[in-house]
A and B are shown apart, each in its own frame.
Chain A
Amino acid sequence: GNSVTQMEGPVTLSEEAFLTINCTYTATGYPSLFWYVQYPGEGLQLLLKATKADDKGSNKGFEATYRKETTSFHLEKGSVQVSDSAVYFCALSDYITDSWGKFQFGAGTQVVVTP
């Protein structure tokens, strides 16, 4: 079946540091890939997405590129702020093998940014 694997946290870094969160996936169809962010006490909200190979999703300074050859969708940000402290989830939706709208989530990576 489909699955998403992302690096374990917590990831602790200083303000203005570079952030990378690794995400790899297994899918038999043609998945769309997503990064969701969960701020403390809140639900998940979409951060960015990419729908086909080589697409780059970007939002709020975060970027991720859909790499079909390495089945990866790593999240990056060049200079993090304290307000980026949150849990980040990598997810996929595969309309070939699953009902449209069904998502597979990674375990989540907690990011802590210190001043």
Chain B
Amino acid sequence: NAGVTQTPKFQVLKTGQSMTLQCAQDMNHEYMSWYRQDPGMGLRLIHYSVGAGITDQGEVPNGYNVSRSTTEDFPLRLLSAAPSQTSVYFCASSLTGPNTEAFFGQGTRLTVV
């Protein structure tokens, strides 16, 4: 019953460092997405993918890259971390189609100092 697995759970970066947040799902979901959660702003979509080899930008894509080489994995890369990227990051997956629910990972709490 793994579902959506995110690693790491916590991370502290220095400004300018790069890192990759990992996300894997074992439900054979076509759709995967990354959100960031900030106080008072709900969840904002960073990038999403509707299948292997297909990605697109969401609401707040600047400073982040993604790729989708397999159905299972959808890593999020921070190219040059900035304090404004301090947030909690959630990966989600779902089937494509109407009325489907999203399944979320446990989240990664990232602090950029």
Contacts and interface: CB of A to CB of B under 8 A. Distances in A.
B97 A107 contact: no
Interface string B12-34: 00000000000000000011010
Interface residues of A, number: 23
Interface string B72-89: 000000000000000000
A43 B20 CA distance: 19
B31 A32 contact: no
Contacts of B95: 101
A100 B31 contact: yes
A102 B100 CA distance: 10
Nearest to A99: B50
A19 B25 CA distance: 34
Contacts of A89: 42-43
B42 A32 contact: no
B111 to A, nearest CB: 16
Contacts of B56: 99
B42 A100 contact: no
A101 B102 CA distance: 7
Interface string A41-60: 01111100101000000000
A49 B56 CA distance: 26
Nearest to B106: A43
Interface of A: 4, 32, 34, 36, 42-46, 49, 51, 89, 93, 95, 99-103, 105-108
Interface of B: 4, 30-31, 33, 35, 40-43, 45, 48, 50, 56, 58, 90, 92, 94-102, 104-107
22 contacts: A4-B42, A42-B107, A43-B4, A43-B107, A44-B43, A44-B90, A44-B92, A44-B102, A45-B104, A49-B101, A93-B98, A95-B98, A100-B31, A100-B50, A100-B100, A101-B31, A101-B100, A103-B43, A106-B42, A107-B40, A107-B42, A108-B42
